[in-house]
């Protein structure tokens, strides 16, 4: 591995928490090589754009960023420019980069990011773009790869890679590959190491976390893993992202209901409320089955909170189909929802249907606005129902929009703002808060007691952690 001194890197991360975790792994490898983080693109000797392929807007953003860096590359030809992540797994991206962005030095994908030091060495010896994108990760998972996590008390932990669901609108199975679970012993070893370093909250990551363990021998599941993490001293909160409604077992609900650490926020992507559209999406559940899961969750988990993802304008969606989605939103009353207009992904079945049975853009926009208006009304009412109650909040730092307040999150994912007191730093502290007011997107409250537990001075060793 090539050693470097005084060389600086910058990673731009687009997309989901899985991409954020991948960027931490890339940063860890670079810092082990001797790189340091750059404060700006102009200072960087290496820039990596870690891309997302879930929606067209993310791809457009990545392409635009690559194009804008051409001028910087011409002014600083010694700089290395790399494109990584999900878009790199798509043949169309490779073709575009070769045609429109020859200033890119290195392209690598989601399956071989653990080989970044070797790739940089090889790219430095070439006069043309190096493209190395594996179609799959093979049979083994790379463990114990250096990682540079963010400072704080929250850490992301991969538990399963890839997805086998093949929803007809989704590119993820093609960019992330088939499902591959990490051994539970490796996950627990990582969580225990994080606890020793001072981390107090973990977020388990996977495209479909409740498929975890089905491919292991002997088989385990997410409920087994969550039960085991409950016993790890030092970890206060446990979250997971993203589950699939089809695989949410009654035992998993029971484990969450009995836990003192596991989040009571259930993020259950609905995507659509119409059975014909759910079938076209290949979601493999019906609206009735989804509603039954909601009812079982409410019975098993006290103070449960529901959030979701919904797509409008899927090819062939009629007004009646959309009204059925609105009906489910009214009945379930999600605390919040991520709402999107359908965006075709090249290579998916739905992209072919878009040409034959499209929903016009004005109709998509109208449906999205109507859905958002309904959900905002429900979100406000849900938040207003919390006025007068107390909750523990993990303070993340000073609000980006108002420097007179701290911003944090409750265990159910609610954004909570509290007034700052001169001379007291609540960053990365768990604090009891009384909720005094509510808006659509956040709660406001006052601290009612001392922070729970001492803050952690985290430098975070690099070699402990996995990819």
> Is-contact 228 188, C-beta < 8 A?
yes
Mean pLDDT on 382-403: 95
188: left (phi over 0), alpha (psi -120 to 50) or beta: alpha
pLDDT band at 209 (very low <50, low <70, confident <90, very high): very high
pLDDT value for 438: 98
CATH, domain range 154-384: 3.80.30.20
> pLDDT tens, 422-441?
888 999 999 999 999 999 99
Residue 32 phi/psi, 5-degree rounding, is -65, -30
Mean pLDDT on 1-7: 64
Residues 6+ apart with CB under 8 A from 39: none
Query: Residue 155's beta-bridge partner residues?
Result: 202
pLDDT band at 457 (very low <50, low <70, confident <90, very high): very low
For domain 8-132, the question of CATH label 3.40.50.12160 is answered with yes
Average pLDDT, the chain: 92
pLDDT value for 33: 95
pLDDT value for 142: 78
Res. 460: pLDDT tops 50:
no
pLDDT band at 140 (very low <50, low <70, confident <90, very high): low
pLDDT band at 95 (very low <50, low <70, confident <90, very high): very high
Res. 459: pLDDT tops 80:
no
- Give domain limits for the chain: 8-132, 154-384, 390-447
Dist CA 360 CA 314 (whole Å): 10
Mean pLDDT on 251-265: 96
- Structural fold of domain 390-447: OB fold (Dihydrolipoamide Acetyltransferase, E2P) (2.40.50)
Could you check whether 8-132 and 154-384 share the same CATH topology?
A: no
pLDDT value for 3: 55
Res. 454: pLDDT tops 50:
no
Mean pLDDT on 294-320: 97
> pLDDT tens, 22-48?
999 999 999 999 999 999 999 999 999
pLDDT value for 4: 65
| Entry pTM | 0.90
Res. 69: pLDDT tops 60:
yes
pLDDT band at 449 (very low <50, low <70, confident <90, very high): confident
Residue with tokens 């429109």: 100
Res. 448: pLDDT tops 50:
yes
> Is-contact 459 206, C-beta < 8 A?
no
> pLDDT tens, 326-384?
999 999 999 999 999 999 998 899 999 988 889 999 999 999 999 999 999 999 999 99
């Amino acid at each position: 591995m090539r050693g470097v001194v005084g060389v600086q890197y910058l990673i731009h991360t687009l997309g989901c928490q899985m991409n954020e975790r991948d960027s931490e792994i890339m940063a860890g490898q670079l810092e082990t090589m001797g790189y340091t983080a750059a404060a700006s693109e102009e200072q960087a000797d290496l820039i990596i754009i870690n891309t997302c392929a879930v929606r067209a807007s993310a791809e457009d953003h990545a392409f635009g960023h690559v194009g804008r860096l051409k001028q910087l590359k011409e002014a600083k030809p010694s700089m290395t420019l790399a494109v990584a992540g999900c878009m790199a797994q798509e043949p169309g991206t490779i073709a575009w980069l070769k045609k429109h962005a020859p200033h890119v030095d290195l392209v690598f994908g989601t399956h071989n990011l653990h080989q970044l030091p070797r790739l940089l060495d090889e790219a430095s010896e070439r006069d043309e773009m190096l493209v190395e994108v594996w179609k799959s990760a093979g049979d083994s998972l790379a463990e114990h790869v250096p990682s540079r996590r963010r400072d704080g008390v929250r850490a992301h932990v991969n538990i399963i890679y890839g997805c086998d669901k093949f929803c007809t609108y989704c590119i993820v199975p093609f960019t992330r590959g088939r499902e591959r679970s990490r051994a539970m012993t490796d996950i627990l070893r990582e969580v225990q190491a994080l606890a020793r370093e001072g981390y107090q909250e973990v977020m388990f990551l996977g495209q479909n976390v409740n498929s975890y363990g089905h491919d292991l021998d002997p088989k385990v599941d997410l409920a087994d893993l969550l039960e085991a993490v409950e016993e790890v001293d030092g970890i206060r909160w446990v979250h997971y992202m993203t589950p699939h409604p089809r695989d949410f077992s009654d035992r998993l609900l029971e484990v969450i209901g009995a836990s003192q650490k596991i989040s009571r926020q259930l993020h259950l992507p609905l995507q659509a409320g119409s059975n014909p559209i759910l079938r076209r999406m290949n979601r493999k559940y019906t609206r009735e089955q989804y509603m039954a899961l909601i009812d079982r969750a409410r019975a098993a988990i006290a103070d449960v909170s529901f959030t979701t993802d919904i797509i409008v304008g899927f090819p062939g969606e009629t007004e009646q189909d959309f009204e059925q989605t609105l009906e489910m939103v009214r009945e379930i009353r999600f605390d919040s929802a991520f709402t999107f207009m359908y965006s075709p992904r090249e290579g998916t079945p739905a992209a072919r249907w878009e040409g034959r049975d499209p929903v016009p853009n004005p109709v998509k926009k109208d449906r999205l606005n109507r859905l958002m208006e309904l959900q905002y009304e429900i979100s406000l009412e849900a938040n207003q129902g919390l006025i007068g109650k107390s909750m523990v909040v993990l303070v993340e730092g000073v609000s980006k929009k108002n420097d007179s307040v701290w911003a944090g999150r409750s265990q159910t994912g609610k954004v909570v703002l509290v007034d700052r007191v001169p001379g007291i730093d609540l960053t990365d502290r768990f604090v009891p808060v009384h909720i005094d007011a509510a808006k659509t997107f956040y709660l406001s409250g006052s601290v009612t007691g001392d922070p729970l537990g001492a803050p952690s001075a985290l430098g975070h060793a690099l070699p402990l952690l996995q990819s």
